């Protein structure tokens, strides 16, 4: 299982309800989901940060790039293609900081429903997610 698959598995495992509520809201509000579903989006983001260490780490390390991209998209809503360079910088940051250390993050064990907490011990995260 690669990093992305493992991350999705952990989000689904720990934040399934928040993910389901966000998906339902988006489906029910196709025209203005970005406005109508902000509460569900925030709940999913918080749960993910609290329960999936790699997400918090990447968000901390790439915060300036996230803010730059978000600001660009807000400023250029009529033509978000203007923000491709900001998006590329954000992508490169997530690629750099989303790599696993040798021990890897806690893994979702589908058979037992447990996670391997020791595997993430070497992450050095602040505040623990």
- Whether residue 128 lies inside any domain: the answer is no
3-state per-residue secondary structure call for the chain = CCHHHHHHHHHHHHHHHHHHHHHHHHHHCCCCHHHHCHHHHHHHHHHHHHHCHHHHHHHHHCHHHHHHHHHHHHHCCCCHHHHHHHHHHHHHHHHHHCCCCCCCCCCEECCCCEECHHHHHHHCCCCCC
- Whether residue 18 lies inside any domain: the answer is yes
Structural domain harbouring 90: 62-98
Total domains in the chain come to 2
90 with 67, same domain: the answer is yes
- Distance between CA atoms of 40 and 19, rounded to whole angstroms? 8
24 with 48, same domain: the answer is yes
42 with 82, same domain: the answer is no
Q: What's the whole-model pTM score?
A: 0.62
Q: What is the pLDDT of residues 36-48, one digit of tens each?
A: 999 999 999 999 9
Q: What is the pLDDT of residues 99-120, one digit of tens each?
A: 755 455 445 544 444 433 333 3
């Amino acid at each position: 299982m690669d990093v992305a698959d493992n991350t999705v598995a952990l989000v689904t495992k720990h934040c399934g309800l928040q993910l389901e509520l966000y998906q339902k809201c988006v489906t029910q509000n196709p025209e203005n989901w970005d406005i109508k579903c902000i509460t569900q989006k925030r709940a999913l983001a918080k749960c993910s940060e609290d329960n999936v260490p790699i997400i918090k780490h990447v968000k901390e390390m790439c915060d300036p790039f996230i803010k730059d991209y978000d600001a660009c998209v807000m400023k250029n809503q009529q033509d978000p293609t203007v923000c491709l360079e900001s998006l590329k910088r954000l992508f490169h940051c997530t690629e750099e900081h989303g790599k696993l250390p040798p021990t890897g993050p806690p893994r979702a064990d589908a058979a037992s429903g447990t996670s391997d907490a020791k595997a993430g011990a070497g992450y050095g995260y602040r505040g623990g997610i």
